[in-house]
Structure 1
């Protein structure tokens, strides 16, 4: 490790000297803060978002009703408080009265009702309507039963009632409304939901957030200016720039003072570079345990036996993957609930879980008539940790007679390819919302509703509606005992059905410039940012 670090330092030093780089921390402009992404966003439209990069590129402009605080709870944004009826079927949103849209128009209840109606429109193509499941007037997928049938009522200019067809827990109501980005009625009313994602509005969006859109270079950067009328107080940092920087270039950018924040999820210092990054003056580089995990999506039509899918899990040499992909800087993961999540149940993992046991796994495959002659395909993006996971997997499986072809694609192509069943497997990753979150994430990927229709992210092609039924029960659970029982049931299902398999959870490598103060690290790890509290220390 030390030899690698010394070599890396020498290489970067030579490049930096050649380019005439000045070794100072922070962006060149003292009034600009630059945050790194290692992947690009496809849209600044929250309705069209399909990945964290999309959401987080748009979030400086748009506020949601509620936001995760990174500590297991939430903080209020456009909603200053809420009430839940005694029967747990009506959520009353008490909206802030001091909010303006970026064009000066007042925000009010009309915007919230309009946005609910837009999200539920049958003509709108969006995965985000999943968060309308259970709202009266919508079907199982969140689509309106008839025009504007979604049961959301304006009580007065700053109060909205949301009606649910079944009792919902506070946690479930919060989870759905946390992802609900409110849009301006006065800008979008009358637009055709079928074409609204392509509307010119998204070239210069109007939101209520702490920053106002300034400009973008597609695939490279987006720049925002501080919103002087932001209801939580105008940000003290004049300009925010989100910039795409490839992982291998992050330490070079730090040395050149071209980046202020590497938050560990949207951009993370490669494990191979972390020891060196921690020696750089002007930055606090820290490795933090989080809730992220890489997981293995298996096409259940191809691998239609839970025994085969479990055998695959037992063929994963997680220790080698952690060493190769994370330089030892990670943990084994077995269920959607990360080890730090309070709902993770170690007893269930010990009872139903598995370890690396290739000999037994091969015997299980033979018993199920597995085709050892066929070459199976797995798609991944170009993230180093997933490349390492696949390389270890390919080498291990080859020793036991399994043939695996690795195909590297961008994430969106992986999703569309799995949707079209072009590949047998996919290795992806995700992060739990926070350490106490009930959101399984898993449910979205294996969802099938009572009518037999696949959810938009059921890329594993699971036909069994059991997970959806448990998820519905969990959403309606109103006591801690009931929540514990249902989260345990989900973990048992994961470790008996193996519709897809959790692999390893890399630790999160972050870096914050010394000149940037006020960053809430807990919130940062949930991919949320307290922008209005950031300050530049001269």
Structure 2
């Protein structure tokens, strides 16, 4: 048993996993036809676990963890996140920003080819970014590009293209903004804005992209391992990209949904090579021979989200009462076995961005009841805690939280639903307290923008919260590169977030993963939904 412990401020949160399975002994690999069994000596197959069932490779729609992970294998983006809290070069070999913060230039790699042999060029990047900025495509990220020159005219149908996206040559992509944005890169990595093939997707009607079959079974990719087939409804087989820029060391990768309990059992028996590890299982995993536990400080949050536009929990006193009703310290200490920390605002890094005068909502049922009384709360109002089951930590948390809310007069019940149903509820704005984990909130405080700005409603702003005063501060925050100025701006922004409680923050969980001795080269960077960032470096051995 080997334990690797590295504290990094860059592990991204929205919580999803992928299990890697190796073909061992005489048993066929997952989905492998009878008669083609490998052995531990000659197999170069792994499988990756997804804590929820994957549904699509479509990067335009709202991202969920498992979809983001499988997309990391098949697609690629300009920039990602690597270890040690650093931006990682991907398709963009380098980038620069003008002194006024209004022009970003990306120098693209010249050794990249699509898996079908077609050349990758800056035109693919321009095409993809126009899709991301176009609400007609179903893009959940259109709000991120409101300050791009010409984006508004394009979205309104007044222009055929976006003036602020240009490709002066095959290996250069330029973004011109109408307002300074010193933190533009953060918008490209949470989630990663993967690049799509213009020569394929460009043939499809834009208004049909949300549900297009291509994104269920993509035929072209840029990532190290490209889609081959759906083995079952929740298991996917990937093959090496024959055009990938570096040598690859695996023959097949299998991505499969497995619940926490099943994943831990199969990790212990050697049936899989990678699994997200629940906090309650960390000590057990440390004791398994041949398994390495990877532990990082989490960059994301686990939080409860309410649809503000539904009005049910619209009174800020009710949201504050919910926080006081939940014993968050005990959740971290007892359910997570200390594998995390309680946070009172989305941003918990870097250090300069953290004000020291935020209100800490300690466990105080009496205060919770008083706030509910002030708000005129009707104790017969039903409140659902929506969860997609399968993650042990999360399943336990919602059960405990429901009981603690009931204790202060909130009629809370746990509502389990599949991820597809959850997505529908989100689209219909029909959820009360939806639990979700996500985010990279320790790189730059501008990371909060996508979750709370008014123009992100319908995209990453899951709760539909809108505060014009906060928006103005966040605009000021990205308009300057001066750290002292930004510190003051974001301190005030975080005070608003802390008081308004637009998102009911529970804790920031540690990033835990387990790998077998067979899987070599795995390294965490960012959150669990970024765990496949270096899949091109994976190999089998041991």
Shorter-chain TM band: 0.7 to 0.9
The equivalent position to 1:100 in structure 2, one of 103, 110, 113, is 113
String of CA shifts for 1:1-41, please: whole Å, max 9, x gaps. xxxxxxxxxxxxxxxxxxx999xxx9956211222222111
String of CA shifts for 1:157-204, please: whole Å, max 9, x gaps. 2122211111110x3245337722111122222321011344453323
Over 3 Å counting, the alpha-carbon distance change for 1:407 and 1:64 in structure 2 is same
1:448: which partner in 2? Answer: 454
Q: Using the alignment, how far apart are the partners of 1:144 and 1:129 within structure 2?
A: 14
Q: Where does 1:364-513 land on structure 2 (aligned, <5 Å)?
A: 364-382=371-389, 383-432=391-440, 435-441=442-448, 443-449=449-455, 454-513=457-516
Q: Using the alignment, how far apart are the partners of 1:532 and 1:523 within structure 2?
A: 17
Over 3 Å counting, the alpha-carbon distance change for 1:200 and 1:456 in structure 2 is closer
How big is the shift at 1:75? 1.8
Q: Does 1:345 align with 2:354?
A: yes
How big is the shift at 1:144? 6.6
Q: Using the alignment, how far apart are the partners of 1:485 and 1:528 within structure 2?
A: 36
Over 3 Å counting, the alpha-carbon distance change for 1:439 and 1:191 in structure 2 is same
TM-score using structure 2 length = 0.84
Counterpart secondary structure, 2:496 = helix
Q: Using the alignment, how far apart are the partners of 2:54 and 2:287 within structure 1?
A: 31
Q: Using the alignment, how far apart are the partners of 1:149 and 1:286 within structure 2?
A: 43
How big is the shift at 1:227? 2.5
Q: Does 1:217 align with 2:231?
A: yes
2:287: which partner in 1? Answer: 279
Counterpart secondary structure, 2:277 = coil
2:44: which partner in 1? Answer: 31
The equivalent position to 1:535 in structure 2, one of 503, 515, 539, is 539
Counterpart secondary structure, 2:255 = strand
Cα pair 2:154 2:161 within 8 Å, conserved? no
Counterpart secondary structure, 2:49 = strand
The equivalent position to 2:366 in structure 1, one of 353, 359, 366, is 359
CA RMSD of aligned residues (A): 2.9
Cα pair 1:375 1:402 within 8 Å, conserved? yes
Question: Which 5+ residue runs of structure 1 have no aligned equivalent?
Answer: 1-19, 263-267
Counterpart secondary structure, 1:522 = coil
Q: Using the alignment, how far apart are the partners of 2:476 and 2:219 within structure 1?
A: 38
Q: Using the alignment, how far apart are the partners of 2:400 and 2:361 within structure 1?
A: 18
Q: Using the alignment, how far apart are the partners of 1:27 and 1:373 within structure 2?
A: 60
Cα pair 2:235 2:254 within 8 Å, conserved? yes
2:134: which partner in 1? Answer: 121
Cα pair 2:141 2:460 within 8 Å, conserved? no
Q: Using the alignment, how far apart are the partners of 1:228 and 1:190 within structure 2?
A: 24
How big is the shift at 1:336? 0.7
Cα pair 1:286 1:511 within 8 Å, conserved? yes
Q: Where does 1:317-356 land on structure 2 (aligned, <5 Å)?
A: 317-338=327-348, 341-342=350-351, 345=354, 347-349=356-358, 352-356=359-363
Counterpart secondary structure, 1:255 = helix
1:176: which partner in 2? Answer: 188
Cα pair 1:225 1:240 within 8 Å, conserved? yes
How big is the shift at 1:135? 1.0
How big is the shift at 1:492? 0.7
Q: Does 1:316 align with 2:326?
A: yes
1:256: which partner in 2? Answer: 269
String of CA shifts for 1:497-529, please: whole Å, max 9, x gaps. 112211123333321112222222335754342
1:65: which partner in 2? Answer: 78
Q: Using the alignment, how far apart are the partners of 2:512 and 2:47 within structure 1?
A: 17
TM-score using structure 1 length = 0.85
Cα pair 2:128 2:196 within 8 Å, conserved? yes
Q: Using the alignment, how far apart are the partners of 1:197 and 1:397 within structure 2?
A: 38
Q: Using the alignment, how far apart are the partners of 1:101 and 1:208 within structure 2?
A: 5
After TM superposition, the structure 1 stretch with the greater mean CA deviation from structure 2, 81-90 or 271-280, is 271-280
String of CA shifts for 1:455-489, please: whole Å, max 9, x gaps. 43444343433333333222323122233223322
Q: Does 1:162 align with 2:175?
A: yes
Over 3 Å counting, the alpha-carbon distance change for 1:423 and 1:272 in structure 2 is same
Q: Using the alignment, how far apart are the partners of 2:343 and 2:39 within structure 1?
A: 37
How big is the shift at 1:124? 0.9
Cα pair 1:377 1:407 within 8 Å, conserved? yes
Cα pair 2:115 2:221 within 8 Å, conserved? yes
After TM superposition, the structure 1 stretch with the greater mean CA deviation from structure 2, 461-470 or 473-482, is 461-470
Q: Using the alignment, how far apart are the partners of 1:366 and 1:329 within structure 2?
A: 35
The equivalent position to 1:188 in structure 2, one of 187, 191, 201, is 201
Q: Which has the higher contact order (CA 8 A, sep 6+)?
A: 2
Cα pair 2:320 2:501 within 8 Å, conserved? yes
Counterpart secondary structure, 1:168 = coil
Cα pair 1:132 1:141 within 8 Å, conserved? no
String of CA shifts for 1:424-443, please: whole Å, max 9, x gaps. 3222222426x4233434x4
Counterpart secondary structure, 2:314 = coil
Cα pair 2:307 2:464 within 8 Å, conserved? yes
1:133: which partner in 2? Answer: 146
The alignment covers a number of residue pairs equal to: 501
Question: Which 5+ residue runs of structure 2 have no aligned equivalent?
Answer: 1-24, 28-37
Q: Using the alignment, how far apart are the partners of 1:272 and 1:230 within structure 2?
A: 39
Cα pair 1:343 1:487 within 8 Å, conserved? no
Over 3 Å counting, the alpha-carbon distance change for 1:342 and 1:240 in structure 2 is farther
Q: Where does 1:74-113 land on structure 2 (aligned, <5 Å)?
A: 74-113=87-126
How big is the shift at 1:248? 0.6
Counterpart secondary structure, 2:207 = coil
